[in-house]
Amino acid sequence: MKVGYVYDPVYLKHDTGYHPENGQRLEAIMAHLKETGLIKQLISIRPRPATTEELAYVHQASYISELQEVAARDGGWLDPDTVMSPGSWDAALYAAGGVIEATDAVLSGEVNSAFALVRPPGHHATALAAMGFCLFNNIAIATQHALKKHKIDKIAIIDFDVHHGNGTQGTFYDNPQVLYVSTHQYPHYPGTGTVNETGRGAAAGTKVNIPLPGGSGDDEYRQVFEQIVMPVVRRFRPQLIMVSAGYDAHWKDRLAMMAVSVTGFADMAGSIKSLADELCRGRIVLTLEGGYNLKAQAMAVKATFDILLGRSDIADPIGPPENRRTVPDISSLIKAIKETHHLA
């Protein structure tokens, strides 16, 4: 089982100061992978900067120019949540290019699966705007690259970040070649991702939103993966699975109110791997999105790599949530989603 990873110190040039999305996130992940010896079992994939043509698969030319100009002016705030430093332009180019390189490595057979450990994250970025800590929509750009350059016909994007990937969904809202499935806390930032957002025109039914209530944990995520995520992906039969891997649904993460453990993230990764093995020769490309508790994110990323490597003995020293008093009932939500998407 050949598993690749993308990382480069260029991602630390996106200097956000004391912002929750900062370079310590990647430093903690890399330190943990090295301390546990896992890094030696992975294949390094070198990133490169995305070209303007590749960025334009998703973003308008005026927006691309705007980001370059902001970086050249020593950076600044793009919205109340999203900031650039002088080095952010290079980091953003290499983030998008890193996910493209991971996709090329998987589709060429160099590796079976790959995880791009990049920043800034991307799934909130739209054609014309940065938002939610995101500059370029890395996964959308790489998905378009696979469709255009590799002539892939059908791609499934699974997004388990705690926030809805509004930018990714918007990019493919009219595209029947891309299934987008999102599990996210709702109501929560950015306010999108309701059950009735299902795609438009020929793409109707290919956008599947699972807006979970706060407090949802391992059992609730397991239910929606078993009853919704896996059936809709099987029905779609993709040739490649792309994953927006956000770990901010962990119970120790303060940017949300979920109750997922490291074991829960491993279960999600295991479900995705089984789908890829069944449907698309094991081909998975993951890219890092959110996750702001350094210890929890590092351990969950390692657990994801363990699953990709075929292991089932997952370490979870943090364990389940402390003092979890309320367990949400999501049966009516599951029923509504099944009815909307014609699932038995």
Chain CA centroid to CA 127, Å:
18
Catalytic residue among 14, 32, 123, 124: 124
- Residues 6+ positions from 154 with CB-CB distance below 8 Å: 177, 178, 179, 236, 237, 238, 239
Number of neighbouring beta carbons within 10 Å of residue 246: 28
DSSP type of residue 213: P
The pairing of strands 284-288 and 240-245 is parallel
Say how far apart CA 32 and CA 35 lie, in whole Å. 5
Number of neighbouring beta carbons within 10 Å of residue 129: 17
- Residue 190 sits at φ, ψ, to 5 deg, of -95, 10
Say how far apart CA 46 and CA 24 lie, in whole Å. 21
Say how far apart CA 219 and CA 239 lie, in whole Å. 29
Could you tell me which of 102, 106, 83 has the C-alpha nearest to residue 276?
106
Could you tell me which of 51, 234, 247 has the C-alpha nearest to residue 156?
234
Residue with tokens 């991971």: 102
Catalytic annotation present for 150: no
Chain CA centroid to CA 337, Å:
22
Say how far apart CA 154 and CA 326 lie, in whole Å. 39
Q: How far is CA 22 from CA 13, 253, 268, in A?
A: 10, 15, 25
In single-letter form, the type of residue at position 145 comes to H
**Residues with active-site annotation:** 124
